[in-house]
Chain A
């Protein structure tokens, strides 16, 4: 079977890229590695029969949002912060609390609580699962009101971004 091989490839590359996002000092490198994470996740979405989501993951995230990030990184020309692993009083706490959260997530995943009532991998897929046509049909019927609210949210975000970025602090 091809699927486990592809899953292993995408998951390992996603995790390695994610480590680079967090531990690189140059912000441009971080942004480019984040693009790597997004592309790996897009591959996983295809494995999970979510073709439309995989496509908009590349178009919106890797295309639009990351270009915005890179634009701001290069616009601001931020000085590199202090080396990450200097002995700081609070960084140890950061790693410690992240470890606690990871153990909790591990417990939730492995305790089978999430798959209760559904036999693993036994649900037959309806035809057209994950296709743009089917997504559109659900989006414009069941989820019509949230969709309209999203358009208002995006309008507010655009206005807010313009107002914030234009304001002169004299």
Chain B
């Protein structure tokens, strides 16, 4: 597998599609849980792009970046879901349209 038999553009295209689907999820869905999952989808699309470019250029720094993106995603999910649990305890809803006040 010295040469890429699938062009880099094909991988970028899939990454763009996944990113757009995740963006639709963030913009259209109103459940905070689904919005979190859509954000994960967008992060993964970017990861695919990183790995494809890393392969194209023969340098592994892109893969290291994917490693860091995964760490940040894990931290983000832990804190985000904790906030979600706190909101749900307080307001009995996970709908982002109903959570529009700063004070509890």
Task: Please give the residue numbers on chain A whose beta carbons come within 8 Å of chain B beta carbons, in ascending order.
Answer: 1, 3-4, 7, 11, 14-15, 18-19, 21-22, 27, 30-31, 34, 37-38, 41, 44-45, 47-50, 52-53, 56-57, 60-61, 64-65, 68-69, 72-73, 75-76, 78, 81-82, 84, 91, 93-95, 97-99, 101-102, 105-106, 109-110, 114-115, 118, 120-126, 129-130, 134-135, 138-139, 142-143, 146, 150, 153-154, 156-158, 160-162, 164-165, 167, 169
Q: A161-B79, A169-B86, A169-B89 are in contact. Are A18 and B18 (CB under 8 A)?
A: yes
Complex contacts, A69 vs chain B, CB 8 Å: 33, 36-37, 77, 81
Residues in chain A near residue B21, CB distance under 8 A: 15, 18-19, 21-22
Closest chain A residue to B17 by CB distance? A15
Residues of B within 8 A of A (CB): 1-14, 16-25, 27-31, 33-34, 36-38, 40-41, 44, 47-48, 51-58, 60-61, 63-64, 66-68, 70-79, 81-86, 88-90, 94-95, 104
